[in-house]
Amino acid sequence: MRHVCATSRETAQRYGYEEIATPIFEFTGVFDRTLGEATDVVTKEMYTFDDRNGDSLTLRPEGTAPVARAVVSNGLAQHAPLKFYYEGPMFRHERPQKGRYRQLHQVGVELFGVPGPLGDVEVIALGAHILQRLGLTEKVRLEINSLGDPESRTAYRDALVAYLDGHRDNLSAESKTRLERNPLRILDSKNDADKSIVAAGPRYTDYLNDTSANFFDEVKARLDDLEVAYQVNPRLVRGFDYYCHTAFEFITDELGAQGTVMAGGRYDGLVQALGGPTLPGVGWAAGVERLSLLMAEPPATPRPIAMIPVGEPAAAVVLRLTQELRHLGFTVDLGFAGNLGRRMKRANKVNARAAVMIGDDELAAGTATVRDLDSGEQATAQLAELAAQLEKYKT
């Protein structure tokens, strides 16, 4: 997980994104005003409680709304365009399963103040770049869709409701409820009967006006320019009400039902919904646990150098040398007690690359004995030149 976060952060920095940290809990209005009161997150999954003053607070279920709130609270809109990267825990009250946890961790990026398609293209390309650096390109596919502008969204919503209303009796109980409150979420139903009904229904892309269609065409053309492979999925929607135009997901088939590992889209009305100015935005979030599960194995941790004093007189000298080597960038393990045999066992246990042994003879000569624990070869090094001699073991 640390590797996923570090790689994401460093890659985002290459694109000019600055790190932002928001509180783990916010006023509940930050979420129910922006995510939509009929969304699953708000109705089923938020951890909400009253504090001692009677204010309703919520553990953040996602990162975009808190970042947008921070933009409004701190008057940052005047400095647009704004490029932010974040990471940290989120909280969802749902049944834990593989890749899904009640306390989960996400990395994400948000780009504010860029109204055109190039903003969408950049954040998608950034996401693809992170996945490539994690070695996951062959394990995921990018699906994209257009939700259109408000006019297109309304036209499609009306057509979808009219169609689904004719199939109401065959919808699942959950979809019947969604039909009244949040019909677009029916497109994302996992119920087999719902899927069959939706498959024969109206397609989002058929209801895009010229502005929305041209916007989507530009996104696809620029992704083609960057050789970012994608599939258009006309059934793809996002779960929150603030999305418009581009929606996208990076999906894998290797985690069972929890296939979405990175997802996002454009949300031009979000900042305004929080009381701020009209400020377009686009971004994504990725599940750190899911990305970690996709990786074959975690990257190797540095193998330490084991420092081994032999006898009490050498202990102080070895302690000082240990600290000096750590300040020079070496990974060093110093056992706290034990004879030579016990300390060598510890060196093997921590998978040390080399062992540095100093006893009475070495102290008298101002030297150390350095043993390569892979080859078994042993050499003598002057203490003044120890760091240089150990450089080949630095990993």
Q: What is the 3-state secondary structure (H, E, C) of the chain?
A: CHHHHHHHHHHHHHCCCEECCCCCEEECHHHHCCCCCCCHHHHHHCCEEECCCCCEEEECCCCHHHHHHHHHHCCHHHHCCEEEEEEEEEECCCCCECCECCEEEEEEEEEECCCCHHHHHHHHHHHHHHHHHCCCHHHCEEEEEECCCHHHHHHHHHHHHHHHHCCHHHCCHHHHHHHHHCHHHHHHCCCHHHHHHHHCCCCHHHHCCHHHHHHHHHHHHHHHHCCCCCEECCCCCCCCCCCEEEEEEEECCCCCCCCEEEEEEECCCHHHHCCCCCCCEEEEEEEHHHHHHHCCCCCCCCCCEEEEECCHHHHHHHHHHHHHHHHCCCCEEECCCCCHHHHHHHHHHCCCCEEEEECHHHHHHCEEEEEECCCCCEEEEEHHHHHHHHHHHCC
Residue range 288-296: mean pLDDT, rounded: 92
pLDDT on residue 39: 52
Under the banding of pLDDT at 50, 70 and 90, the label for residue 26 is very high
pLDDT classification of 41: cutoffs 50, 70, 90:
low
Work out the percent of the chain whose per-residue pLDDT is above 70.
96
Domain ranges (residues) in the chain: 2-149+209-294, 305-393
Residue 38 pLDDT? 44
> What is the fold of 305-393?
Rossmann fold (3.40.50)
pTM of the model: 0.84
Q: Which of the four pLDDT bands, split at 50, 70 and 90, describes residue 169?
A: confident
Pick from 32-46, 63-77, 127-141, 193-207: least confident: 32-46
Domain 2-149+209-294 has CATH 3.30.930.10: yes
pLDDT bin (cut points 50, 70, 90) of residue 99 is confident
Percent with pLDDT over 90 in the chain: 66
